[in-house]
Amino acid sequence: MIQENIEHVSVYGVLHSPWVQAVLLGLHEKDISHSVQPIPSLSSLVSSGLMMPAAKINKGSWQLDSEEILKSIGYKGIDKVDKRAIFRTWDGVLHRVDNPFEFFHGFSLNKYDHPSILVRGLSSFLRPFITYYFFTLISFLIFTGKRRDPDSFADQFLPWERRLSQTGSLYFGGSSPNAVDLQLFGIVQCHCSIPYAPLLETIQSDPALPQYREWIGRMQEHFAGYKHLYSGQHFRPETPVAQRSSFLERVVYWFGALFMLLLLPITLLSVCALALLPNRNY
Ligand SMILES: N[C@@H](CCC(=O)N[C@@H](CS)C(=O)NCC(=O)O)C(=O)O
């Protein structure tokens, strides 16, 4: 349901999540004042663990699910067939833990604005917990056989390639992006933020995907002023790199990561307890 008179939206989430990206792209496009926090509020932690994105419109309650959040800020919903086809383009993302250092490094670079240096410092120290959580979750999904690589990573993009050629539209939403564009482009940001080379190279150069690359270029132009664009380094037209944390914030992040490693049994117990909360849809 569309929410009227939106003054400010608080978003909890990590910039490597496609669904968080979709929400942030929507807020940017609608020019809605918003802030992003990498650590959930206590109420959202208790009700839905570390599930992201969560958004709070004005002073309302925390709401989950990117599509629902996008609907609240004025986008139309996505039909079931499209949803499944969007989700398929996520294949390959579980490879991001192949190199644990790259995974933690990617998270350490995330930039979160907050006027207070104390809050920024504390969130840099606590953020590694979220990284441990996702590292464990993804490793668990791999361990339980959820990662099955296709013969070609191009296949997952073909329905969208065909749609662009058949309609001749600039965007999946027609003359302007809709929620489908935002979720698909959110997944592109996800693939580019901690890249898995075979997958990224497929999107960049597979001869079966010319329209999809053109669409990525158009989206990059459309979202030129967006602060969290990771694809701009990998696709034309080149756009500025997503904002990065300061050196000091990174030092605090790695200090936090080391501290939690020294407390590994406690870190793992907390990660598992949070992973057992409901609302997961893998
Ligand atoms: N359908 C949801 C998917 C959200 C989702 O899967 N979020 C992942 C991050 S990409 C998450 O928070 N997982 C944590 C968990 O499952 O506990 C949406 O569109 O928001």
For the stretch 3-16, pLDDT in tens is 889 999 999 999 99
User: Worst-scoring range by mean pLDDT, 84-93, 204-213, 236-245?
Assistant: 236-245
Q: How far apart are the first and last CA of the chain?
A: 25
User: Has residue 84 been placed in a domain?
Assistant: yes
Q: What spacing in Å lies between the alpha carbon of 21 and ligand 1's midpoint?
A: 12
Q: What spacing in Å lies between the alpha carbon of 146 and ligand 1's midpoint?
A: 15
19 lines ligand 1 (CB under 6 A): yes
Residue 43 is predicted with a pLDDT of 87
Residue 282 is predicted with a pLDDT of 46
Burial class (CB in 10 A: 0-12, 13-18, 19+), 230: buried
Please give the model's pTM, rounded to 2 decimal places.
0.94
Whether the CB-CB separation of 62 and 23 falls below 8 Å is answered with no
pLDDT tens, 19-75?
999 999 999 999 999 999 999 999 888 888 899 999 999 989 999 999 999 999 999
The whole-angstrom separation of Cα 223 and Cα 72 is 21
User: Has residue 87 been placed in a domain?
Assistant: yes
Centre a 10 Å sphere on the Cβ of residue 71 and count the other Cβ atoms it contains: 19
User: Has residue 250 been placed in a domain?
Assistant: no
pLDDT at 86 over 70: yes
Within this chain, do residues 177 and 46 fall inside the same structural domain, yes or no? no
Residue 223 — very low, low, confident or very high, per pLDDT cuts 50/70/90?
very high
User: Has residue 254 been placed in a domain?
Assistant: no
- Of 190, 214, 233, the position where a domain reaches its end is 233
Q: What spacing in Å lies between the alpha carbon of 134 and ligand 1's midpoint?
A: 10
For the chain, the domain total comes to: 2
Residue 97 is predicted with a pLDDT of 96
User: Has residue 246 been placed in a domain?
Assistant: no
281 lines ligand 1 (CB under 6 A): yes
Within this chain, do residues 44 and 118 fall inside the same structural domain, yes or no? no
- Facing residues of 64 across strands? 54
50 lines ligand 1 (CB under 6 A): yes
- Of 26, 43, 72, the position where a domain reaches its end is 72
Q: What is the average pLDDT across 141-148?
A: 91
For position 135, which CATH number holds? 1.20.1050
Burial class (CB in 10 A: 0-12, 13-18, 19+), 97: buried
Q: What spacing in Å lies between the alpha carbon of 207 and ligand 1's midpoint?
A: 32
Within this chain, do residues 57 and 91 fall inside the same structural domain, yes or no? no
Residue 278 is predicted with a pLDDT of 58
Within this chain, do residues 60 and 100 fall inside the same structural domain, yes or no? no
Q: What is the average pLDDT across 111-139?
A: 94
User: Has residue 192 been placed in a domain?
Assistant: yes
Q: What spacing in Å lies between the alpha carbon of 194 and ligand 1's midpoint?
A: 17
Within this chain, do residues 159 and 97 fall inside the same structural domain, yes or no? yes
Within this chain, do residues 139 and 183 fall inside the same structural domain, yes or no? yes
User: Has residue 262 been placed in a domain?
Assistant: no
Residue 161 — very low, low, confident or very high, per pLDDT cuts 50/70/90?
very high
pLDDT tens, 105-119?
999 999 998 999 999
Burial class (CB in 10 A: 0-12, 13-18, 19+), 141: middle
51 lines ligand 1 (CB under 6 A): yes
Within this chain, do residues 116 and 150 fall inside the same structural domain, yes or no? yes
52 lines ligand 1 (CB under 6 A): yes
Mean pLDDT (the chain, rounded)? 94
Q: What spacing in Å lies between the alpha carbon of 84 and ligand 1's midpoint?
A: 15
- Of 72, 100, 126, the position where a domain reaches its end is 72
Within this chain, do residues 48 and 164 fall inside the same structural domain, yes or no? no
User: What residue owns the CA closest to ligand 1's atom 20?
Assistant: 65
pLDDT at 279 over 60: no
Q: What is the average pLDDT across 90-105?
A: 96
Residue 44 is predicted with a pLDDT of 87
Within this chain, do residues 24 and 132 fall inside the same structural domain, yes or no? no
Q: Residue 43 is part of which domain span?
A: 9-72
Within this chain, do residues 63 and 93 fall inside the same structural domain, yes or no? no
66 lines ligand 1 (CB under 6 A): yes
84 lines ligand 1 (CB under 6 A): no
Q: What is the average pLDDT across 158-169?
A: 96
Atom number of ligand 1 nearest to Cα 53 = 20
Q: Is 153 helix (H, G, I), strand (E, B) or coil?
A: coil
For position 52, which CATH number holds? 3.40.30.10
Within this chain, do residues 161 and 64 fall inside the same structural domain, yes or no? no
User: Has residue 223 been placed in a domain?
Assistant: yes
Q: What is the average pLDDT across 155-180?
A: 97
Whether the CB-CB separation of 199 and 153 falls below 8 Å is answered with yes
Within this chain, do residues 58 and 90 fall inside the same structural domain, yes or no? no
The whole-angstrom separation of Cα 109 and Cα 190 is 14
Whether the CB-CB separation of 131 and 103 falls below 8 Å is answered with yes
Q: What is the average pLDDT across 216-225?
A: 95
